[in-house]
Structure formats: C-alpha cells, structure tokens
Amino acid sequence: MLNKVVIANRGEIALRILRACKEMGIQTVAIHSERVQQGGFIFVGPEPDTIRKMGDKVSAIAAMKQAKIPCVPGSEGELGNNDAENLKMAQKIGYPVLIKASGGGGGRGIRVVHSEAALLNAIALTRSEAQANFKNASVYLEKFLTTPRHIEIQVLGDGQGHAIHLGERDCSMQRRHQKVIEEAPAPGITPKQRSHIGELCVKACRDMKYRGAGTFEFLYEDGHFYFIEMNTRIQVEHPITEMITGFDLVREQLRIASGEKLGYRQSDVHFRGHAIECRINAEDPETFMPSPGAITLYHPPGGPGIRVDTAIYTGYPVPPYYDSLIGKLIAYGETRDIALARLRTALDEIVIEGIKTNIPMHQRLLRDANFIKGGTHIHYLEQHLAR
Ligand code: ADP
C-alpha cells in the first residue's frame, strides 16, 4: 500500500481524499496551487499517455471508434484550413453543428452554429480562443443534438487489463455546459441498456489497460448513446455512484495506484436505491455572478441518507481565484421519490450566510414538475431559467 500521498487538490475533494487515506492508514501531505511531478512519485491516476490521449478530444474519439463505442456524427478528426471543405463537411453533417476545441474542458471551447453563413467566422473564432485558452488551436465539428440527455458511465481499471463499470449517472441539469444536479441511476435507463453500454466501456478500458477511475461521457437521444469525451480522474459527481453501489471510489484509486489488482468482478457490483447531488456554488442565484467572501454562518443539514462533501465552516473565506463550487449536497433514498424528499428537506435546512449561493435555485428545481418526472434534456435548465 502507498504510505504517503501528496494531495494536489483543494476544497471538498481534497478533504474527501484525505478521509479515505486516513481510513487506510496512509499519511497525507496537502499542497496548494502547484502540481508536483518529480522522480519517485506515484501519480494516483492513469498513465500519462492515457491522460494525454483522452485529454485531446479528437484522439479520444478516434480511440473510442476503434473500440466500437458509438460517437456523435461529426468531422472524423481535426478540421483543416480549407474553407470549401469545411463548409461541405458541415453541410453533410447537417445544421446546427457544434465547433469544439480538441483541448477544451469545463464547458469552454464549444460553439453552436445554426447556419452556413456563420460557419467560417465561428471556426476562426473558436480556433483563436482555443489557442489562447488551451494552447491548442485544433477544432472539430460535431452534430448538435437538439434534446439529448447527458449520461455517463463510471469505470475502474487496474492497469493490468481488468476493468468493471459502476453504472451510469444522469448529469443533464446543466447551465453553460456545467453540471448543476446529477443523479444515479438515470431515470428510465433499463438494466439491459446499462449493461450493454457499460460492457462497451469496460472493453475499451481492458483494451487500453486503463488504470484508475474514469468516466465515459455520452449524450443519449432516442434510445441511442453517443460518446462525447472521457474524463481520466475522479469526478465531482462521484458520490452518487458511491451511494448506490457501496463502493469507495477514492479508496479503489489508492489501492490501484499501489499496484493491487481490482478486488471486484462485474458480478460483485450491485445497484441499490437512488442518489441525487446538488452542487452548491458561491454565486448569485439570479445573475450567477460569483460571490466570494467570508462565510459568517454555516449550519449543515443532516438526517437519514444525507451526505455533505465540503470544506467550508463558519468563518471560511471563499477565495475569488477558483471556480465557485463550495460543496456538494447528496441525498440517498431507497427510491427516487425518497431521495428527492430528503434533498428538499436538506436544502431547506442548510444555512450558509455571508455570501450568496445557488441554494434557492436548487429549491425551485427540486419542486419543478418536469424534473420530478425525470429524464429532462441538457437544455432544460437554461430554458427553465429563461422563463
Ligand atoms: P467539456 O469537456 O467542456 O465538459 P463536453 O464535450 O463534455 O465538454 O460537453 C459538455 C456539454 O456540452 C455536454 O454535457 C452537453 O451538454 C453539451 N454538448 C456537447 N456535445 C454536444 C453535442 N454534440 N450536441 C449537443 N450538446 C452537446
């Protein structure tokens, strides 16, 4: 087993990792604002090569096609500089199309184009933004799906050719391509669909000898899954998977990094109940402007099935330098209705004073008839906010 881990993260996830290390008797060192890569360190995560390949969306899509994973119809690779060819390509895919930066992330580097007249300018603009933001001017085209859901598959691989999947998460509640509420399992996805898409991801992991925790992100429309990207790390929304499987994903990451084989087979993974996560952001609930500053009072919610992953406390200064996530409120229930009811109560209970948060928005959404019904698409939240 690893004996000491440098935690190059901050906020709620640093605390999450620290807790898993403590439980496993691993010493920890926390660092801030720097990444440390030096001889003698073991990185808890995939091989640098895998990270590089999956970090570039064009090469990730190419790898997925090879593994027979369905992808969004698009430009089959990076766009060249030939305007006529690019126009022809977009015409073939059919408008609206998306221009995406290969090196993009966090919802940045994505632009919708509705008509031919706007294409060339939009490509040039996305290219220069991509160069400035990601130091990579490569862009590609994808069909813009009009009402898909975002459904992703959690995987674990041990780097020795063994891999399992831990089911799916529905992350369709988004604003500006950023997830706001996530839930597992995804409403309406059948066990047969789950094992079909899950097995495809597992096979891809085996083929690339994937090491660590990972997520295959898909758009889901009319019963079909379309791969969009792979994340080679623990994700913000990992707790909901832990709640319905009983797995400790960070513990598994540490075991795998220690060179241990996967301790589980697919048949050891059982899904039970339903979990929903609200991302609590320090921002104005109407304008979404960041709201940094000191938290003058923090009172956490509690009760059966409630989990809060956060690093805040009364007196905590929310820094202006990072994204606005300050905590995650997760509710588990035997059924989706129970999870929803617990989450509503917890949102009414939690008190964060001194700064503005998006809690009022969550309170409204959890009482919204369409969200309660389940299965809303990725544009639903923005349409709802516009109303
Ligand atoms: P990032 O790496 O920035 O998170 P993704 O490729 O994962 O970028 O896309 C982020 C979000 O953008 C998706 O969850 C979805 O809401 C939207 N999106 C991405 N691709 C498409 C597409 N082809 N059609 C419609 N929406 C898309």
Beta carbons within 8 Å of 196's beta carbon, 6+ residues apart: none
Q: Which among 98, 109, 117, 114 has a CA at the least distance from the CA of 137?
A: 109
Distance CA 88, CA 80 (A): 12
Cβ(293)–Cβ(354) below 8 Å: yes
Distance CA 273, CA 236 (A): 20
Q: Which among 326, 318, 337, 305 has a CA at the least distance from the CA of 240?
A: 305
Q: What is the pLDDT of residue 239?
A: 98
- Between the CA of 58 and the centroid of ligand 1 the distance, in Å, is 14
Long-range contacts of 123-127 (CB under 8 A, 24+ apart): 123/79, 123/86, 123/99, 126/99, 126/100, 126/101
Query: Above pLDDT 70, what percent of the chain?
Result: 98
Q: How confident is the model at residue 284 (pLDDT cuts 50, 70, 90)?
A: very high
In angstroms, how far apart are the furthest CA atoms of the chain?
Answer: 61
Residue corresponding to tokens 């500006």:
176
The closest-lying atom of ligand 1 relative to the alpha carbon of residue 379 is: 16
Amino acid at site 376:
T
Does 36 have pLDDT greater than 60? no
Q: Over the chain, what HEC string results?
A: CCCEEEECCCHHHHHHHHHHHHHCCCEEEECCCCCCCCCCCCCCCCCHHHHHHHHCHHHHHHHHHHCCCCECCECCCCCCCCHHHHHHHHHHHCCCEEEEEEEEECCEEEEEECCHHHHHHHHHHHHHHHHHHHCCCCEEEEECCCCCEEEEEEEEEECCCCEEEEEEEEEEEEECCEEEEEEECCCCCCHHHHHHHHHHHHHHHHHCCCEEEEEEEEEEECCEEEEEEEECCCCCCHHHHHHHHCCCHHHHHHHHHCCCCCCCCHHHCCCCCEEEEEEEECECCCCCCECCEECCEEECCCCCCEEEEECCCCCCEECCCCCCEEEEEEEEECCHHHHHHHHHHHHHHCEEECCCCCHHHHHHHCCCHHHHHCCCCCCHHHHHHHC
Q: Whose CA is nearest to atom 11 of ligand 1?
A: 177
Q: How confident is the model at residue 43 (pLDDT cuts 50, 70, 90)?
A: confident
Q: Whose CA is nearest to atom 19 of ligand 1?
A: 228
Cβ(265)–Cβ(251) below 8 Å: no
Does 290 have pLDDT greater than 50? yes
Q: Whose CA is nearest to atom 16 of ligand 1?
A: 177
β-pair type (149-158, 163-175): antiparallel
- Between the CA of 65 and the centroid of ligand 1 the distance, in Å, is 18
Residues 59-103 pLDDT 10s: 999 999 999 999 999 998 999 999 999 999 999 999 999 999 999
Cβ(130)–Cβ(104) below 8 Å: yes
Residue 229 Cβ contacting ligand 1 at under 6 Å: yes
Residue 60 Cβ contacting ligand 1 at under 6 Å: no
Q: Which among 259, 278, 93, 271 has a CA at the least distance from the CA of 191?
A: 271
Q: Whose CA is nearest to atom 9 of ligand 1?
A: 107
Alpha carbon distances (Å) from 278 to 179, 204, 329: 9, 30, 5
Residue 145 Cβ contacting ligand 1 at under 6 Å: yes
- Between the CA of 107 and the centroid of ligand 1 the distance, in Å, is 7
Q: What is the pLDDT of residue 39?
A: 63
Does 264 have pLDDT greater than 70? yes
- In the numeric block, which tokens belong to residue 377? 């698409």
- Between the CA of 142 and the centroid of ligand 1 the distance, in Å, is 10
Distance CA 86, CA 126 (A): 14
Residue 94 Cβ contacting ligand 1 at under 6 Å: no
Task: Please compute the mean of the pLDDT values over residues 196-221 and round it to a whole number.
Answer: 96
Task: Please compute the mean of the pLDDT values over residues 7-19 and round it to a whole number.
Answer: 90
Q: What is the pLDDT of residue 32?
A: 56
Q: Among 59, 99, 172, 228, which is best to mutate for testing ligand 1, by the most ligand atoms less than 8 A from CB?
A: 228
Q: What is the pLDDT of residue 255?
A: 95
- Between the CA of 274 and the centroid of ligand 1 the distance, in Å, is 25
Residue 104 Cβ contacting ligand 1 at under 6 Å: yes
Does 285 have pLDDT greater than 70? yes
Residue 228 Cβ contacting ligand 1 at under 6 Å: yes
Lowest mean pLDDT among 3-12, 14-23, 151-160, 194-203: 3-12
- In the numeric block, which tokens belong to residue 367? 């009482």
Residue 96 Cβ contacting ligand 1 at under 6 Å: no
Residues 168-206 pLDDT 10s: 999 999 999 899 999 999 999 999 999 999 999 999 999
- Between the CA of 115 and the centroid of ligand 1 the distance, in Å, is 19
Q: What is the pLDDT of residue 37?
A: 53
Residues 222-236 pLDDT 10s: 999 999 999 999 999
Does 364 have pLDDT greater than 90? yes
Residue 256 Cβ contacting ligand 1 at under 6 Å: no
- In the numeric block, which tokens belong to residue 185? 């399992």
Quickly count: other Cβ atoms within 10 Å of residue 314's Cβ: 14
pTM value is 0.92
Distance CA 216, CA 348 (A): 33
Residue 98 Cβ contacting ligand 1 at under 6 Å: yes
Does 148 have pLDDT greater than 60? yes
Task: Please compute the mean of the pLDDT values over residues 353-371 and round it to a whole number.
Answer: 97
The closest-lying atom of ligand 1 relative to the alpha carbon of residue 226 is: 23
Q: How confident is the model at residue 38 (pLDDT cuts 50, 70, 90)?
A: low
Q: What is the pLDDT of residue 44?
A: 85
The closest-lying atom of ligand 1 relative to the alpha carbon of residue 107 is: 3
Give the catalytic positions in this structure. 233
Cβ(93)–Cβ(119) below 8 Å: no
- In the numeric block, which tokens belong to residue 248? 């400790």
Q: What is the pLDDT of residue 213?
A: 97
Residue 378 Cβ contacting ligand 1 at under 6 Å: yes
Q: How confident is the model at residue 34 (pLDDT cuts 50, 70, 90)?
A: very low
